[in-house]
Amino acid sequence: MIGYWGYLQFETNDDWLQYPEKIERTVKGRWKTVYPADGGRPRRIFQGADVGTITFTMHLDQRFNSNIRDLLAQITIWVNTGYAQELVIGTKPFGWNKWVCVKAVEKFRDVLHHGVIMAADVEVTLEEY
């Protein structure tokens, strides 16, 4: 197993193919700009850490997943309800808090007759909760 977010597992083996690719983490700080009354140069004041963001593309294939359409529907529910879970990559929790899915972009690669999705990519954006 590569890792998991809640009960969404990232795993590849002979029977299962569900893995993230292009994992990108963004960390930011919060800054405030103060303009002095005497006309001097503005100063930046650090106000703490901002929420972290992780984006990745998840590859799904109907030959190795039980039902892609159900998984995509579940991810949509997680986005719409603010589902917060721990993100684990390898064996260690990632970040300091739980993570929520704020955006999911579904890209269907192969669709057969009657709307059967054979292969899809999902670009997922998680933010620290």
SS (H, E, C) 18-40: EEEEEEEEECCEEEEEECCCCCC
At 110 the pLDDT is 86
- Of 29, 22, 18, give the one whose Cα is nearest residue 75: 18
How many domains is the chain partitioned into structurally?
1
Do 20 and 2 meet the contact criterion of CB atoms below 8 Å apart? yes
Whole-number pLDDT of residue 92: 82
Q: Quick one: pLDDT at residue 29?
A: 93
Q: Could you list the residue range(s) of the whole structural domain that residue 104 is in?
A: 3-128
For residue 53 the two structure tokens come to 């963001």
Q: In this predicted model, what pLDDT tens digit does every residue of 5-56 receive, in sequence order?
A: 776 766 655 555 566 778 888 989 999 999 988 888 999 999 998 888 999 8
Question: What is the CATH number for 76?
Answer: 2.40.30
Q: pLDDT class for 118, splitting at 50, 70, 90?
A: confident
Q: Is the pLDDT of residue 123 over 80?
A: yes
Query: What integer pLDDT is reported at residue 65 of this predicted model?
Result: 64
Give the distance from CA 3 to its chain's centroid.
13
pLDDT per residue as tens digits for the range 66-102: 678 888 888 899 999 998 988 887 788 887 888 999 9
Q: Is the dihedral of CA 105, 18, 76, 115 positive or negative?
A: positive
pLDDT at 103: 93
Cα 48 to Cα 51: distance, rounded to the nearest angstrom? 10
Of 14-18, 101-105, 112-116, the poorest mean pLDDT is in 14-18
